[in-house]
Amino acid sequence: METDELAARIRAGERRALARAITLIESGRADHRAQAQALLDALAATPGSALRIGLSGTPGVGKSTFVESFGTMLTGQGHKVAVLAVDPSSARSGGSILGDKTRMERLSRDPAAFIRPSPSQSALGGVARRTREAVTLCEAAGFDIVLIETVGVGQSETMVAEMTDLFILLMAPGGGDELQGVKRGIMEMADLILVNKADGDLKPAAERTRADYAGALKLLRRRPQDPDGFPKAICVSALQEAGLAEAWREMQALAAWRRETGHFDARRAEQARYWFAEEVRRGLLARLDHDAAMRTRMARMGDAVAAGEIPVARAAAEMLALLGTAP
Ligand SMILES: Nc1nc2c(ncn2[C@@H]2O[C@H](COP(=O)(O)OP(=O)(O)OP(=O)(O)O)[C@@H](O)[C@H]2O)c(=O)[nH]1
Ligand SMILES: [Mg+2]
């Protein structure tokens, strides 16, 4: 299919065209890459305006259940919801975090929703780039809310926070010492903490956990992108569909405030800058790692350095000059 036709079909909201385009951007083939680039260029003229929401949480905390009930609530309100995943471990586990479609039975059959599992690829940088491009495609296809799910592994949370407008942390009720287990850096990224499973026997523990997180959030350095009272911690039950409307109200209030105060657009601009620099860096590294001539030169230069024939700094400067990046 021609790029223009594919672009037109995506703009018309055709899900099969969207799925096909995402497959194209996930491909490692050079000709596919060129096509994907052309497609993204073609769609850049009609930028979408989706609210991008990042969702993270440890395995078993209830992410899939939450996406199912929260997503279904949103489509019930007339929204079009796309769900994407950043899962650096999917290659290892052989599946994807969205593979459990049984937990998203309603949403996966919902005509107003689009669910895309994480590509099975281990390089987080590659997954992140593809997810970011998939967001663009989903927006062009008319989805006004894009949920990006990630499991709390390594840098994946940072990546997702760098491509979303709101970052939500899903937590489980605990016995009081779970706060220690949460890395400070992750707390600092959160716009909203949702303590899930606030139902049945777990309800009192969930409320205590919520209070603990609320207290911890207050101790963090105040961020310019937050109005009074944010970041917030609230209780939800994804299973019983409780607290979801409140969670959505808080997300909307925060997004509206950021839009009014310019923080929303400023953040998007910052993210564009971040990913641009990241792509250039990745491109340079790819040349070092995959360009056969460069690899040979690296090996030879390495030998020369090891033999004491050339000082480290001079050898490095020569390599960088070859890459066209000499200072
Ligand atoms: N009681 C209760 N259980 C829940 C709730 N949400 C999820 N669960 C249960 O918690 C378990 C894990 O839920 P998932 O939605 O698969 O969790 P996940 O975070 O997607 O897990 P991974 O995909 O493994 O990372 C399941 O048995 C769910 O039924 C909730 O609100 N209340
Ligand atoms: Mg899951």
- Could you read off the pLDDT tens digit of each residue along the chain, which spans 327 residues? 789 999 999 999 999 999 999 999 988 788 998 999 999 999 987 767 899 999 999 888 999 999 999 999 999 999 999 999 887 665 444 445 455 666 788 999 999 999 987 766 556 666 778 888 999 999 999 999 999 998 876 678 888 999 999 999 999 998 656 666 677 788 899 999 999 999 999 999 999 999 999 999 998 888 999 999 999 999 999 999 999 999 999 999 999 999 999 999 999 999 999 999 988 888 888 888 888 888 999 999 999 999 999 999 999 999 988 887 655
Ligand 1 pocket by C-beta < 6 Å: which residues? 57, 59-65, 97, 100, 103, 151, 196-197, 199, 202, 237-239
Q: Choose which residue among 64, 65, 170, 202 to substitute to test ligand 1 binding: the one with the highest number of ligand atoms within 8 A of its C-beta.
A: 65
Q: Which CATH superfamily is domain 47-261 in?
A: P-loop containing nucleotide triphosphate hydrolases (3.40.50.300)
Say which residue the tokens 């003229």 belong to: 45
> What is the distance between the alpha carbons of residues 97 and 100, in angstroms, rounded to a whole number?
7
171: CA distance to ligand 1 center in Å? Answer: 11
- Model pTM? 0.90
- Residue whose Cα lies nearest atom 28 of ligand 1: it is 62
Q: Where in the chain is the domain with CATH 1.20.5.170?
A: 1-45
State the closest ligand 1 atom to the C-alpha of 149, by its place in the atom list counted from 1: 20
Q: Say yes or no: domain 1-45 is CATH 3.40.50.920.
A: no
Q: Where in the chain is the domain with CATH 3.40.50.300?
A: 47-261
* Cβ partners under 8 Å of residue 165, min gap 6: 51, 52, 53, 255, 258, 264, 267, 268
